[in-house]
Structure 1
Amino acid sequence: MGGIVSPEYRPPEFGRKGEGDDIDVKQLSRELKAATDKVKEFAEDAKGRFEKGEQLSTAAKQSADEALVKFNELSATMTEIEQKLARRGGGEGESERKSVGRLFTEAEDVKSFMERAPSKGSVQFGTKALITSLTTDANGSAGDLIIPDRQDGIVAPPERRMTVRDLLTPGRTSSNSIQFVQETGFVNAAATVAEGILKPQSDIKFDLLTKPVATIAHWVQASKQILADAPMLESYVDGRLRYGLAYAEELQLLKGDGTGSNLLGMIPQAVAYSPPLTVPADATMIDMLRYAMLQAVLAEYPATGHVLNPIDWARIETMKDTIGGYIIGDPADGAAPRLWRLPVVETPAMTVDKFLTGAFKLAAQVFDREDASVALSTDDRDNFVRNLVTILAEERLGLAVYRPEALVYGDFGNVT
């Protein structure tokens, strides 16, 4: 009777070289399954023979013993491999822990490409988790490790250049109002008089005018911690608050309407532009400013400057003659803005398409009651319990327009 003939079988040599060697787990699994099937086949055949009362031959017993020995060797090898993988942290994750360079050199496509004769071509290689600058929870996201290159200081928005105050006569006061006597009417009856004839009488009218001192103020809040931890923030806020005062001050000096706590500015008190001669139909903006100067001169107040919006000054500077040449100077000339011998003051505080021409220092005076100052306080109950600091900036000033006739306010007529 023939026994079980086991095929020639040799268990692979796995797990004998070192901890770092690669292990073909799939191949080992296939080998172990083949050995298991052979043992199972032998067991079923032997059971059938025993039930029939048949005896196993010596060769069959020897083949069965060899199959069992090989099965035990494979099982021991698999157990050893599982222990090694457990110490390393798992099977599937092993490729994820290899470096990109190692994965690249071990890739079969790369090996095949390198073994070919020199030729042109390319090979693609994929990895499971490349390291990127993403900040998500995905594998390989390392963006949170990147530290931004933080620059010192604060990038502030642009600040307007204040110019209106410089036009006026400066002054100081220690009161909350400014009073002055203004001549509001004069009838000049002066004439030659014959001997014994009654002399003519002239009439002069005076008014006592009172102008209030206005307070310009604003404030912000900040925590005590941020002011202590960022010392430059205090000086930055200080500067920005002072700038805010100057910004509001320029608008008040120029356009304040005198209602409520507002100053009465120069424009509401200026006389309207009224050319003292017949104006040609083709009169330009340059012509109109010259006629405004003439109007001031005829009022006995020779003008000392013009106030324009930058848009209107740009219109004037880009005017050209009939052959394309610029009328006002040379574009390459860096001279200060001047027109008809007088300086031109550009400020966005002036309304577009409007102008103010006059003898400013004769016309008006600004009085400082309290210079711009910045104060810090924690006195408020809410501030104290919340560790907040109130930063307050304020100033007090008054404006007296002595001679409204010295100011001429007009419209260029370009904007409907």
Structure 2
Amino acid sequence: MSDQIMKALDSVEVKLNAMSVKADAEMKELGKISTDTKAALDTIGIEQRTLADRLLAIEQKASAQPDAAPADETAGAQFVKHAAYDNFIKQDGRVRTRIEVKNTVTNTIAGTFSERRPGIVEGAWRVFTIEDLLVSVPTSSNAIDWLRENVFTNAAAETAEGAQKPESSITFTPGTMPVSTVAHWIKITRQLAMDNPALAAYINRRMVYGVNIRVESQLVGGNGVAPNISGLTLAGNFTAHGYTAAALTGLGLMATNRFDLIGKMIGDCAAADYPADAVILNTADWWTMRLAKDSQGRYLLGDPGSTVVPTLFGRPVVASNAMTAGNVWVGSLSQAATLHTREGIAVDLSDSDGDNFTKNLITIRAERRLALTVEKPAAARYGALLPA
């Protein structure tokens, strides 16, 4: 099609040159271009532009590449469809390709069958929710520095005319949190990558999942010792709820009633001017509460057929195995902490890791870089779900 358009353009060019010569002659002889000649020039010009537009459209269609994979594609699907992955499999291996447990996975391990069921029987997959509730900002640095308010003494008061105004004071505590790298790797054979792209894509998806599950565990329980993340439940990143069984009983509450304790923690956050926007519980603890019944055998939290988002006292509940069983975190995630993303998930391939080249192996590495800063420990309460 493009060859035909080029021939048509050449023909138009010849006609345009001929008419230009005619127009020049008329200008010399008559001092103007005749109406017929001008009309012919306009017609040829329109034809030339039309053909040029058609040719441009064909070239753009032929060279067009999608900017990004469809939003509903998994990381694994994007992995095997990526041009860089295809180039890596086809090349001689001397050039490394970058695309934005300890065993070698082979076709033998995957198994050979005369009849294979479609797809792969997957292992456990956690649904991640904590990260979605955090304020997330990008960073280009390898460390985050911030100032945390220590003590604010508010002396604001009504003042008589001409009298000395009261002075308030604020003290700060500096904080620094290095950006952490969460990563892992696995080896597969080149033959598997070439012969079983579905399994290779699954492995890639597992690699991404492995990074994210570690990130969630660190966001909640990271001990803050480099290269670990400083998690929400690390001492100094929260205010202890401070309740004992005796204290709850003294308030007319039941020490064994998890609802009473969580309600008090939500109330304490509100009293401190940090209204709670989330409750984080261990998954098993949440289901213990979700299945609680009254004396008539009715579920306290509503009909089991309900599809309502889990909540307690109007606050969303985040049930995660990252939270230590028997403990509870209540607070304002939007005010207490900030997630800083240095790099999103990156997957790298290399056949030059160790003896990969001689053994026809490919190392797949997945990693991401991030930091969590907890600026307002007063915006969170944490402690035992059933205090002693």
TM-score by length of 2: 0.65
Structure 2 residue aligned with 1:282, among 254, 259, 262?
254
2:216 pairs with 1:260 = no
CA contact (8 A) 2:134 2:333 kept: yes
Q: Distance in 1 between matches of 2:324 and 2:293?
A: 24
Structure 2 residue aligned with 1:244, among 194, 200, 210?
210
In structure 2, the residue matched to 1:301 is: 274
> CA offsets per residue over residues 326-365 of structure 1, 9 Å max, x none?
2221223232211111111111111111111111111111
Q: Distance in 2 between matches of 1:381 and 1:287?
A: 57
2:178 pairs with 1:212 = yes
2:245 pairs with 1:272 = no
Residue type matched to 2:278 in 1? G
Cα distance change, pair 306–386 in 1 and its aligned pair in 2 (3 A): same
2:314 pairs with 1:341 = yes
CA contact (8 A) 1:218 1:241 kept: yes
Structure 2 residue aligned with 1:369, among 327, 342, 346?
342
Cα distance change, pair 314–205 in 1 and its aligned pair in 2 (3 A): same
Cα distance change, pair 328–176 in 1 and its aligned pair in 2 (3 A): same
CA contact (8 A) 1:274 1:295 kept: no
RMSD: 2.0
CA contact (8 A) 2:184 2:367 kept: yes
User: Following TM superposition, by how much is the alpha carbon of 1:236 offset from its aligned partner in structure 2, in angstroms?
Assistant: 1.2
TM-score by length of 1: 0.61
Structure 2 residue aligned with 1:353, among 317, 326, 346?
326
Q: Distance in 2 between matches of 1:326 and 1:190?
A: 49
Number of residue-to-residue matches in the alignment: 269
In structure 2, the residue matched to 1:57 is: none
User: Following TM superposition, by how much is the alpha carbon of 1:218 offset from its aligned partner in structure 2, in angstroms?
Assistant: 0.3
Which structure 2 residues correspond to residues 141-220 of structure 1 after superposition, within 5 A?
148-220=114-186
> CA offsets per residue over residues 179-222 of structure 1, 9 Å max, x none?
22221111222233345543332221123321110000000111
Structure 2 residue aligned with 1:401, among 371, 374, 384?
374
Q: Identity over the aligned pairs, expressed in percent?
A: 38
2:385 pairs with 1:412 = yes
User: Following TM superposition, by how much is the alpha carbon of 1:281 offset from its aligned partner in structure 2, in angstroms?
Assistant: 4.9
Residue type matched to 1:282 in 2? M
CA contact (8 A) 1:179 1:210 kept: yes
Q: Distance in 2 between matches of 1:232 and 1:326?
A: 44
Structure 2 residue aligned with 1:226, among 178, 184, 192?
192
CA contact (8 A) 2:349 2:362 kept: yes
In structure 2, the residue matched to 1:125 is: none
User: Following TM superposition, by how much is the alpha carbon of 1:400 offset from its aligned partner in structure 2, in angstroms?
Assistant: 1.3
User: Following TM superposition, by how much is the alpha carbon of 1:171 offset from its aligned partner in structure 2, in angstroms?
Assistant: 0.8
Residue type matched to 2:240 in 1? A
Q: Distance in 1 between matches of 2:178 and 2:262?
A: 32
Cα distance change, pair 315–211 in 1 and its aligned pair in 2 (3 A): same
Unaligned runs of 5+ in 1: 1-146
> CA offsets per residue over residues 145-194 of structure 1, 9 Å max, x none?
xx753223321102011111011011100110112222111122223334
CA contact (8 A) 1:296 1:406 kept: yes
In structure 2, the residue matched to 1:65 is: none
Unaligned runs of 5+ in 2: 1-112
2:264 pairs with 1:291 = yes
Q: Distance in 1 between matches of 2:116 and 2:158?
A: 84
SS at match of 1:266: coil
CA contact (8 A) 2:219 2:231 kept: yes
Residue type matched to 1:358 in 2? G
